[in-house]
Amino acid sequence: MTMQIIANGSVTTPRGFLAGGAYAGIKTHGAEKKDLALLVSTAPCAAAAVFTTNKVKAAPVIVSQEHAATGRAQAIIANAGCANACTGPQGLADAREMAALAAAKLHLSPQSVLVASTGKIGMAMPMEKIRAGLHELVVTPDGGHDFAQAIMTTDTRRKEIAVAIAPAPAAGAGPGYVIAGCCKGAGMIHPNMATMLAFLTTDAAVEPAFLQTALRHAADLSFNMISVDGDTSTNDTLILLANGQSHLPVIQPATPEAHRFQSALDFVCMDLARAIAADGEEATRLIRVTVRGAASLADARRAARAVAASNLTKCAVHGADPNWGRILCAVGYSGAQVNPDLLECHIGDVLVVQNGTPTTFDHAAARAALSGSEVAIAVDLHLGEHCATAWGCDLTEGYVRFNSEYTT
């Protein structure tokens, strides 16, 4: 597959998408922070979505689940500063009104608009601010960066990517198509989606059922393989809109072009997921955990996610302490099939455990491997051929302090 990352790309890089962001006053820390976002396609889209597995679902999740069930959508309205979660019937009415307001502005039906919110739980949506802010918000082909900024809460930076996929050889010369995305997330992040919003756009034409299957596959490789603090949120939303404005043939399942599309979508989602883990609240190090030699893919994922989510391992990484026992402990309780006598573990390039027992490794080298901005941990179960990677971050004093004061 010929794929190229587009410099300074955003969700409006694919043809036919417009976006914008504005400050509506939902967040309380000043007009320098946008908090209301709008994304729209100039043409109807095939739509796919994945939502939180938390049984306490925010109102915008419920509304978007209803609207996305048709497999079609054309716009997304999103806000930061208020999650509109645990807000009862009024919260549900507010989420529906947000869809209707965006639809009226864009001359669409409310059912074609998806809604996403992030921020504090239990706070009523300030609808008068939404109405006023939406009136002032302008969508343009260059508004993707403003959209990405407006969905941020405790994030320290925008998280965006766009990739160009050259046309298949059979399609001849041409511009191909683009897949782009942005996301937010820094806390309440845990596998099975997390306090994360992610929005993907493509100008490819994709068969709707395959689009949903492809998005679920990509989510399982990416957003479901990250953990910051072990908390799964009420608002997690991942949406993919495909508007077909590349004017290439519709991508059908079980075809070479479907494989090319899936590979590119996986890449985009993994890049965004890694960016969330790297931007964990008050984190100083990204942790990459790779588990090899598992008896099944499910086992590889279980073990990798358990290590990435282990608070003791995260603390050891923060202190650059090569405490490999915490890593193997997490593997052991992960639910994966394990033979303790076969376990092998590396911290960076340093082999610290072989055949289930410690090696006489260089502690200084292991500490050095734990001291960089990205820490690699690898475990081989020696039970099969399956492999998976998960991402996390260190647990710092700053995280505890920040989250002890979040609502005050």
226 contacts 276 by C-beta, under 8 angstroms? yes
The distance of Cα 400 from the centroid of its chain, to the nearest Å, equals 23
Q: How far is CA 217 from the centre of its chain?
A: 13
70 is catalytic: no
How far is it, in rounded angstroms, from Cα 332 to Cα 343?
A: 10
Catalytic residue among 87, 195, 201, 232: 195
Q: Degrees (nearest 5) of the Cα angle 61, 63, 66?
A: 105
Distance, CA of 124 to CA of 173 (rounded, Å): 52
- 206 and 71 Cβ atoms separated by less than 8 Å: no
Alpha carbon distance 373, 324 (integer Å):
19
Q: Are 151 and 181 in contact (CB under 8 A)?
A: no
Q: Which residues contact 39 (CB under 8 A, 6 or more apart)?
A: 11, 12, 17, 18, 19, 75, 76, 78, 139, 147, 199, 201, 241
Spatial CA neighbour of 116 closest among 98, 130, 142: 98
d(CA 286, CA 304): 14
Give me the amino acid identity at 392: G
Looking at the DSSP bridge assignments, the partners of residue 350 are 347
β-strand 3-5 against 159-165: which pairing, if any? antiparallel
User: Which residues are designated catalytic?
Assistant: 195
